[in-house]
Amino acid sequence: MCSAKHRTVVIMGVAGSGKSTVGHLLAQQLGWRFIEGDDFHSPKAKHMMASGIPLADSLRDSWVQALCNELSVCKAAHTPCVLSYSGLIARHRQQIRSSADNIHFFYLHGNAVLLAKRLAQRQNHFMAPAMLQSQLLTMQSCDDETDVTLLDIALPVPQLVQQITQFLAA
């Protein structure tokens, strides 16, 4: 179904963009390992985000390093994987690139109104909806990154997954 060209797919975007939902469904369809970035946050980081406090650089750095370690395991084992992770900071995306095998990023991008609506409807998640504005302000441009494809979150999840699988198969 997919070319061997890409062995690591990153689904990135701010809170409420659907990266976990899209990533999980994509990994299921491809038969690849799914890595949920949120699972690698420390309890302290989750508590801060639940309280509406943006993460300090040191917490973000240790989180990204944990993700890089997991991607390195997949790379060493030749295990294709899908990672859902915010990808807010350009230097962190570069760290992810250097830890992964044949990577491509898909940036789930959409307007703030739709993102806020989704966050308001979400239950049982540590990320406070009030954090959206902070994430939107923190998201660094990926316009010059040739391995990033933007996808519109207004599209239904199955259509987003289809666009990604078509890209990977090309």
How do residues 109-166 score in pLDDT, each as one tens digit?
Answer: 998 888 888 877 766 655 555 677 778 888 899 999 999 999 999 999 999 999 999 9
Tokens of 89: 């900071």
Exposure class string for 11-22: b at 16+ Cβ within 10 A, else e: bbbbbbbbbbeb
Domains and CATH numbers, the chain: 15-153 (3.40.50.300)
Would you state the structure tokens that stand for residue 48, as one six-digit string? Answer: 């801060």
Contact by Cβ (8 Å): 97, 79: no
pTM higher than the cut 0.95: no
Angle between helices 90-99 and 57-77 (to 10 degrees): 20
* Other Cβ atoms within 10 Å of 78 Cβ, number: 8
Cα distance between residue 26 and residue 44, in whole Å: 30
When pLDDT is cut at 50, 70 and 90, the band that residue 57 belongs to is confident
Q: In a 3-state reduction of DSSP, which class is residue 103?
A: strand
Average pLDDT over residues 99-118: 91
Please give the Cα distance from 13 to 43 (Å, whole number): 21
Reported as type and span, the H/E element at residue 151 is strand 148-152
